[in-house]
Homo-oligomer: A and B are copies of this chain.
């Protein structure tokens, strides 16, 4: 067996089924090995940021790492932004980078870069393999790290890939990750929540899965605490019958208005919330020294169990009253009519999204009115952007659709962000994925306009205006999408959006709708 085959066999043995890749010459032994090692399917992306974003979406939906296979330092560089997002989302990713042959490194040939330094910026674990004899253990160690919610980067020189391994062909398994829990932190939360003080339970990670939310709802019923989710969760389950949460707002004034109401804050699956940027006039912290704060020290699948233990210790009732915790029946908004606005787009999406949909939300400013509607919709999964690096939506939808081929995926997508990784539309066409992309076409980096007005600049100068304006020339998303192989239309009325969205959801395969807002 070659080193490449050992790597893939170890990955397959550990349950890795998909590799998102844009390979080059230094990865060719691994490219060849996909044909000799059954059980793992490579999927080509036209740009590495599309591969890493797809791996993020896949890992969020399966809990299992997808493999990436990227070409040297420049390939990793192109994938960095979405690996950053995966890191912040605590998504398991087996991030494999081909490197020059070991003996060629010192030649400093054209594509040579300091891959280790690059990888450090996004990796929770990394290693450079030096001999094929260790490659199975290296791969297993990488997957062990990935399963704990990390981007695990394995750098594999091409000669290590192509060399034949001597000796036995033992395939090493990774260690399973069940998470962990520290019971002392639960005891402290119990003590705090037993007081009469106004309390918030801020949830993130696995606490936003149905089991975590159900346990949190028990605590809410027993103690009267409010349930709040982190600002932009990597994944949460929403909809009728699922306990509802309020999101921490993006802007600091609104976030402080929400969080300063509480005397007690219990964090579960998330760290203390901080402002998104260092805004003038605000501190980084959103909590303060007058609040009693405790964090439940638990992670992974043990986190929902920790919340159950907390509920039990508080002697919370076993059953959840949906009148207290959320909606008990579907409450869809009526379909609006007339001119298409961002608000109307939100209403139409909420009115029409199918049960069990996966909503990949990178709508930035256009989607604000969508979130409050989620609790009353049929159950669905919401994927957001904890890392904040724009350009995750289109590829994340690819990964989610590969992970869950029987679920409809809707990508509610800001136009400026979509332009970062638009090449992933081609992956949707190539893989015939059931994805509907709704482009929020406001032809601006609108968040920057909002930032200007927040800082008192109501009429930015000429150059400042040009730097937030995407309208000159306007991007024609329908043409671009069709050029990538995805059927597309542009709509400018509520009626046409509703009609085209129904068509897109009814037909198999990918569709794109440019919503002229």
A contact set with B: CB distance below 8 Å: 21, 23-26, 28, 31-32, 34-36, 41-42, 44, 46-47, 49, 73-75, 77-78, 80-81, 84, 88, 100-111, 113-114, 117-118, 120-122, 157-159, 162, 231-232, 274-278, 280, 284-285, 386-391, 416, 419-420, 422-423, 426, 429-430, 447-448, 451-452, 455, 457, 460-464, 466-467, 469-470, 472-485
Contacts and interface: CB of A to CB of B under 8 A. Distances in A.
Nearest to A390: B74
A31 B74 contact: no
A284 B111 CA distance: 13
Given A103-B278, A461-B32, A479 B483 contact: yes
A108 B274 contact: yes
A426 B475 contact: yes
State the number of copies, please.
2
A162 B280 contact: yes
Nearest to A162: B280
5 contacts: A23-B467, A35-B460, A77-B80, A78-B420, A104-B284
Nearest to A451: B25
Contact of A159 (B278, B285, B451, B475): B278
A121 B73 contact: yes
A71 to B, nearest CB: 9
B464 A34 contact: yes
A223 to B, nearest CB: 29
A376 B143 CA distance: 57
Given A159-B278, A479-B479, A388 B467 contact: no
B107 A284 contact: yes
Contacts of A447: 25
A284 B108 CA distance: 9
Contacts of A49: 78
Given A104-B278, A277-B158, A476 B482 contact: yes
A101 B448 contact: no
B473 A480 contact: no
B278 A466 contact: no
A415 to B, nearest CB: 10
A99 to B, nearest CB: 9
Nearest to A387: B110
Contact of A28 (B41, B430, B455, B477): B455
Nearest to A36: B461
Contacts of A103: 278, 284
A338 B175 CA distance: 62
A499 B268 CA distance: 66
A390 B74 CA distance: 8
Nearest to A415: B46
Given A81-B74, A121-B117, A473-B426, A107 B275 contact: yes
List the 10 shortest-distance A-B pairs measured between CB atoms, nearest first.
A104-B278, A35-B461, A101-B278, A77-B80, A473-B485, A479-B483, A74-B389, A480-B483, A107-B284, A34-B463
A35 B284 contact: no
A77 B84 contact: yes
Nearest to A100: B278
B429 A473 contact: yes
A108 B430 CA distance: 38
Nearest to A421: B47
Contact of A111 (B44, B114, B276, B472): B276
A448 B73 contact: no
A69 to B, nearest CB: 9
B73 A28 contact: no
B25 A463 contact: no
A503 to B, nearest CB: 20
